[in-house]
Amino acid sequence: MKTGGDLVADALVAAGINFICTLPDWNMARLIERISQENSWIHVRLAREEEGVGICAGAYLTGKTPALVMQNGGLLNSANGLTTTSLQFGIPTLLIVYYAGDINTRYFSTVGDVTEPMLHALGIRYYILRDREAVTRTIVGATVLTMDSKRPVAVLLNRDLLRSEA
């Protein structure tokens, strides 16, 4: 049996991610547990999301394919780093973002309200994952896009997807 978190972890391996920074959210607990168990990457546990933007940038400068796993509140925390490091220098990073405040979640609709407008404002392309069938092709495709465009690309993860089991 695999949860949605397992599918996302498998897809990150398939995408060739080899450097990954994480800061937890309850709904990503299984995903981060899997990330900590894989040997495909260097895993750095963060204390604040914006430092992950810098750490991923440093890793990219040496030839790594980096990903930053966080909640959308952390995406908001990272706005300056994404702008004046990632976008300003042209540095790719796959942003794997738990979408608090998406449909069928409670308590965080405010951060949900501003998540997509913030990504629009920064000119960061994003894809929303709500279905298990789309996980691998979306994460692999978003990784190709971030590396090719040399800009961050975000994949937003819905709660029901992460909690799904099959």
Partner 1 sequence: MKRIDCLKAIAGKVGDALVVASAGGATVEWYDLHPSDGNFRSRTLGLASSIGLGIALSLPHRKVIVLDGDGSLLMNLCGLSTAAWSGPRNLIHIVFDNSVYESSGSSPTATSGPTDLVAVAKAAGFPRAIWASDVGGFVRAVSEALAGQELTFIGVKVEHGIVPGIASPTTDDTENKYRFMRHIEKLEGRKIFGSGYPEL
Residues in contact with partner 1 by the rule CB under 8 A: 16, 19, 42, 44-48, 50-66, 80-81, 84-85, 88-91, 144, 147-148
Closest approach, Cβ 4 to partner 1, in A, equals 26
β-partners of residue 43 are 20
User: Among candidates 82, 66, 65, which has minimal Cα distance to 74?
Assistant: 82
Closest approach, Cβ 104 to partner 1, in A, equals 32
Closest approach, Cβ 52 to partner 1, in A, equals 8
Q: Which is nearer to partner 1, 70 or 162 (CB)?
A: 70
User: Among candidates 95, 90, 82, 94, which has minimal Cα distance to 150?
Assistant: 90
Q: Which is nearer to partner 1, 82 or 128 (CB)?
A: 82
Q: Which is nearer to partner 1, 53 or 162 (CB)?
A: 53
Contact 15, 148 (CB under 8 A): no
Q: Which is nearer to partner 1, 72 or 93 (CB)?
A: 93
CB neighbours (10 Å) of residue 67?
A: 28
Contact 66, 60 (CB under 8 A): yes
